Amino acid sequence: MPDWLARLREEVTGEPAPEGTAPAAGRGGDLEWLGAMPAVEGEEEGPPPGDVPEWIEGGPAEAGEEGGAVPEWLARIRERARGEGVMEDVAPPEAEPAPAAETPSMEFGPLPPQPSTDQAPGSLGLPDWLLAAKPADEAPAPSPPAEAEAPAWLRGVTDDGSQELPRVPALVFDGEGALPEPAPEIDLSSLSAQLPEWMGESRPAEPAERPDLAPATLPAWLEAMRPVDTFRSVIEFESSEDQVVESAGPLAGLRGVLMAEPVVAMPRAAAGEVTRLEVNERQYAQAELLHRLIEDERREARIRPAVRPRPSVLRWVVGAAMLLAVGLPAVTGLPGFALPAFAPQDLVRLAGDGVNPGLIDNVAPDRPVLLVFDYDAGATGEMESVAGPLLAHLMQRGIPIATLSTRPGGSVLAERLLAQEAAAYNYVRGQDFIHLGYLPGGPAAIQLFAASPRQAVSAGFLTEGLPSVWDSPILAGVAGLSDFGLLAVVTSGSEEAREWIEQGDPYLGDSPLVVVVSAGAEPLVRPYYESTDPKVQGILSGLTSAVAYEQRLGKVGLAHARWGSYGGGLLAAEVFVALGAVAGIAGAVIRPRRR
Amino acid sequence: MPIQLDPVLVETLGTVLAAVLTVMVLSYILGDNALFRAASYLFVGVASGYAASVAWQQVLEPRLVEPIVRLDLSPGRNFLANVAVPIGLVALLALRLVPGPGRLGGLSVALLIGVGAATVVGGAITGTLVPQTRAAMETLSPFAVAPQTGEAGLERLANVLIVLVGTVGTLSYFRFSVRRGEENAPRFGWRRVRVPLGNLPIPWPVLPFLGEVFIAIAFGVMFAGALSASLLYLAERLQFLAGAAQALVFGLIPGG
C-alpha cells in the first residue's frame, strides 16, 4: 500500500495501516495495464493530510457490495477495504445495470458529496473515461447493436472472416527488378460513375420537390460559367462483348478500356481559369482610363466662373502714356513731327515724281477704274488715310470710278470715303462714281466677275433711278475686267489681295493692278510686286507713303491730319519697346546671379 | 408715310452714340468690364444684322425671288441656266434641313466645295507658286535690271542672293519630314570650329538656322506693320472724340 493511501486510511479510520498487507500498485494480473502506467512524481506522497473530501471517505463504502456487474479486480479491492472496516457503514446499493457504455463526462466541477448513481460503483473516484479505457475483456462487453439499427449499406458487410474480399496488392517496391513507373494521374471525377451499388445507396436520397420553396436562380455571370451539357448525363455500360478492345499502347488487348477521345477531343465547357481575364498593368490602366471617360461623360459639368486677370499697374501706365502720346497731337497739334523729306520708290512708280508720270497718270480718262474695298469698319482709320490720296488723284484727273466689295459692309465704307473726297472734286454719285455693291462667293465669284462682270453683279448699291447698275453710263463699255482702266484693291489683309491677284490677273490684260494694303500685310503682298514677272504693278502702304502722296498732290488730307498722332504714338511705342528690352536683358543677367 | 427726321439731329445723335461706344471700347484699358463687353456684343449684333440685310437686298431678292416672280420664258433669257438650275440647287440645299431627304443637299454642297477648291488651287498655282518660284531663281548677272524697282549691279545682286538664301533656308527650316525617333529634336545644333582665335560655335546645319533668322525678321516686320496700323486706328478714334467733343460743346453754347 502506498504511503499516501495508508495515511489516508489512518485519517479515515484512525487505525494505523498494516504494513505489507496491500499489494503495490501495478502488481497483480488484473491491474497490469494500470501498473504499466508511468509513475507520477509525488504519487507516493498522495494528497496532504486533511484534504480528503468526505465523498471520498464514504465513496468506497457505498459502492462496496455490488452484484456480478462489478469486475473481479474491483471486487477484490472492495473486499479488502471492507475487511479493513473502511466500508462497513455503507449499505450495498440495489442491483442496477452497470452503465456499460457510459459516455465520458466532461464536467469537471465539484461533485456532490453523496454518491451518485451515475458513477460506476467501486470506481474509487476514477473518471468515467478512464474506466472506459479499460480492456474489453475486463469491462462488460457492450451489447451488439441490433440488426435493424444498422444502416442499409452496412447490413451486408459483416467481417466474419468467412469470405475474403478481393484485395489490391500493395504497390511497394521490394527492391528487385526495375523501378515501377509512377502511376498516371487519373481524373477521379470520371470514376465516380463506377461506384459499387452498395456505395451508391449511401448517397442521400434526392429531396422531394417542395412547392413551398422558390426555385433557385443563378446570377447571370454564374449562369454564363455553367458547363455546357456536352456529356451524356446517364452513362450506359455496354456489355463486355460490345466493349472495344484496345489496339495500341500499353493497354493493347484489354477490353473496356476508357477511351481517351471524350477527354481530349470532345468539346466541353471551358475551365474556370480560361474565363478569367489575364490583364497586365497597361491594359488595366487603359480600362481605368476608359472607365473614367465614361464616368466623366455621365457627370454634369460644372460651370466654372471665368477667372479674370487683375489688370496690372503697368498696363494702366502704358495705356495712359499711349493715349497721351497719340491724343495730345490730335487735339493740340503739338508736338509737330517733320513730314517725309522724300517719296518712297513705290510711290514714284505709282504717282510719278512730277516729271515722270506714274501708273495713275497713264490711266485713260474715258475708262472707269475699279476700286475694291475689302476691309472692315475697324480698319477705316488706316485705310482711309492711305487710300484717300489715291482717290484724290483719280478725281483730280476726272476718271470715273466704280466700287465693289467682297464684304457685306464694304459698299458703305466705299460710299463714306468717296463722299469725303467727292466734295472737293465735285464728283456726283451715279454720274462720276457708282457702287457695284456686294460680290458674294469668294475666289470663284472673283473669277466669275473677272470673266463676266455683268453676270456676277446685277444689283448695285445706292443706285437710285437705275433699273440696273449696268445701265449707268459709267459702265457702258465694260464687258470684262480688262475694260477697266485700273484695278485697285484696298484691303487690310493679305488674303483678299492674294485672291484678287490670283483670280483677276489673267483677265486684266494691259490694265494695271494696284494694291493699297495695310502696313501689317505689306510684307506678304510685296513679293507679288518685286518680282521678275510682277503680278502687282503698284503698291501703296503705310502712312508715310500716304503723306508723301498728299505732298505730291499738293493736298492736305487725312494723312496729314494723323501724322502728328502717328508720330507721337510711334515714339512712345519705341520707348516702351526699348525699356522692355532693357528690362528683359537686365533680368536675364541678374537672375542667374541670384541663383 | 415714312417718318421724316431732321438730318442734323440724326447726325448729332449718331456722333454722340459713336463717341459713347468708342469710350466704352477704350475702357478695356482698365480691364475687362461690362461696358466693353456690351459694346462688343452690340457691334457683333449690328454687323450680323447688316450682313443679313445686304444678303437679302443684293443677293437673294434680285437673284432668287425676282426671277421667280417675273418669270420670263423667252429664249433669250436662257431660263434653264439662269433660273431653273440655280433654284433647283437652292432647293436641294434647303433639303438639308429635313432629316430624310437631306442627303440630296450634298449635291449642292459638293458643287460648291469642288468648284471653290478647283478655283483656289488653280489660281494658287498659276498666280503664286510658279511666279514666286521663278522669282527666287533670278539670274545672278550683274548686268540685269529689276523691272519694278530699277535696281541694278551689286545692289540687285545682293538682293537676289538674300532672296535665294532666305527661300532655301526657310524651306529647309520647314522640313516636311520627321526623322524617326527625333520628333522633338531641334532643327540645328551648335558645333565648335577651331579658328585662329579659338573655338567658334557655329550652327549646324546652317541653312535651317538661316531660315529661322529670316522667319524671325519677317515676323518682326509684320509686327511693326500691325503696330503702325493700330496706332493709326487709335489716332483716328481720338481725333474723332476730340472733334465730337468740340462740336458738341460749341453746338450747345449759343453763338458758339
- What is residue A444's three-state secondary structure? helix
Please report the pLDDT score of residue A584 as a whole number: 92
Predicted local distance difference test score (pLDDT) of residue A109: 41
From the list A441, A440, A444, A423, the residue with the least C-alpha distance to A432 is A423
The residue length of chain B stands at 256
Which ranges of A47-98 does DSSP label H, i.e. alpha helix?
A: 54-62, 72-83
- Cα A309 to the chain's mean position, in Å? 34
Chain A neighbours among B 121-160 (CB < 8 Å)? Answer: 123-124, 126-128, 131-132, 134-135, 138, 146-150
How high is the pLDDT of residue B254?
59
CA separation for the pair A343, A443 (Å, rounded): 34
Report CA-CA distances (Å) from A306 to A313, B32, B39. Answer: 21, 11, 19
Classify the phi-psi angles of B184: left when phi > 0, otherwise alpha if psi is within -120 to 50, otherwise beta: alpha
pLDDT of B51 reads: 92
Highest mean pLDDT among A539-553, B124-138, B235-249: A539-553
Domain boundaries, chain B: 141-175+187-256
What gap in Å lies between CA A492 and CA B232, rounded to an integer? Answer: 13
Cβ proximity of B208 and B173 under 8 Å: yes
Tens digit of pLDDT for each residue in A238-273? 677 777 777 777 888 887 777 766 666 666 665 555
CA-based nearest residue to B87, from B100, B110, B71, B103: B71
CA distances from B147 to A361, A535, B125 (A): 19, 12, 22
pLDDT for the residue numbered A64: 42
Distance between first and last Cα of chain A: 102
Q: Are A381 and B236 a contacting pair at CB < 8 A? A: yes
Distance CA B214, CA B249 (A): 52
Q: Name the band, by pLDDT with cuts 50, 70 and 90, for residue B5.
A: confident
DSSP B4-25: P--HHHHHHHHHHHHHHHHHHH
Q: Residue A237: what pLDDT?
A: 63
What is the CA A208 to chain-centroid distance, rounded?
50
Q: Which residues of B touch A408 (CB under 8 A)?
A: 50-51, 54-55
| B138, pLDDT greater than 90 | no
Angle between helices A494-508 and A442-451 (to 10 degrees): 30
Compute the nearest-CA separation of B88 from chain A (Å): 18
Pick the residue of A565, A570, A574, A577 with the most B CBs within 10 A to test the interface with B by mutation: A565
Nearest-Cα distance to chain B for A299, in Å, is: 30
pLDDT tens across B96-109, in order? 888 888 888 889 99
Q: How many helices (H) and strands (E) does chain A have?
A: 23, 6
Q: Which of A67, A96, A68, A64 is nearest to A80 (CA)?
A: A64
Predicted complex ipTM: 0.85
Residue A12 is predicted with a pLDDT of 64
**Average pLDDT value for chain B:** 85
pLDDT at residue B204 above 50? Answer: yes
CB distance B242–A330 less than 8 Å? Answer: yes
- Rg of chain A over Cα atoms, rounded to whole angstroms, equals 63
Per-residue pLDDT at A487 = 96
The reply to whether residue B235 touches residue A565, judged by beta carbons under 8 angstroms, is: yes
Looking at residue B39, its pLDDT comes to: 95
Q: What are phi and psi of A311, to 5 degrees?
A: -65, 135
| Lookup: cell for A485 | 482702266
Tell me how far apart the alpha carbons of residues A45 and A572 are, in angstroms, rounded to a whole number: 122
Question: CB distance B29–A323 less than 8 Å?
Answer: yes
Q: Which three cell numbers mark A280?
A: 497586365
Nearest CA in chain A to B62: A459
Q: Identify the pLDDT of residue B59.
A: 86
Residue B188, pLDDT score: 76
* Top-level class of domain A345-561: alpha beta
Q: What sign does the dihedral A201-A205-A206-A208 (CA atoms) show? A: positive
For residues B234 and A569, the answer to whether their CB atoms sit within 8 Å is yes
- Exposure on the CB side of residue A234, measured as CA atoms within 13 A: 1
Question: Cα(A533)–Cα(A536) distance, rounded to whole angstroms?
Answer: 9
The label of the residue with cell 490670283 reads A502
Q: What are the residue ranges spanned by the domains of chain A?
A: 1-94+113-140, 345-561
**Would you state the pLDDT for residue B8?**
82
Q: Which residue in B has a C-alpha nearest to residue A307's C-alpha?
A: B32
Q: Is A479 on the interface with B (CB under 8 A)?
A: no
Q: Among A77, A127, A124, A125, which residue's Cα sits nearest to residue A102?
A: A127
DSSP assigned state of B180: T
Q: Is the pLDDT of residue B89 over 60?
A: yes
Q: Determine the pLDDT at residue A144.
A: 47
Cis peptide bond prior to A357, omega within 30° of 0: no
- Regions of chain A with pLDDT less than 50: 20-30, 41-46, 56, 58-68, 86-125, 136-148, 156-164, 166, 168-169, 171-180, 183-184, 186-193, 200-202, 231
User: What is the pLDDT, as a whole number, of residue A158?
Assistant: 46
Distance CA A387, CA B232 (A): 13
Residue of A403, A462, A501, A503 best to disrupt the B interface, most CBs of B under 10 A:
A503
The predicted structure's pLDDT at residue A445: 93
CB atoms within 10 A of CB B38: 13
Q: What is the pTM of this model?
A: 0.62
Strands B198-204, B189-195: pairing is antiparallel
Least confidently predicted of A237-246, A437-446, B127-136, B144-153:
A237-246
Per the CB < 8 A criterion, the answer to whether A538 and A497 are in contact is no
| Cα first-last separation, chain B | 36
The mean pLDDT of B52-67, rounded to a whole number, is: 87
Q: What are phi and psi of A95, to 5 degrees?
A: -65, 120
A69 touches chain B (CB under 8 A): no
Answer for the pair A492, A376: CB distance below 8 angstroms, yes or no.
yes
**Does residue A53 sit at the B interface (CB-CB below 8 Å)?**
no
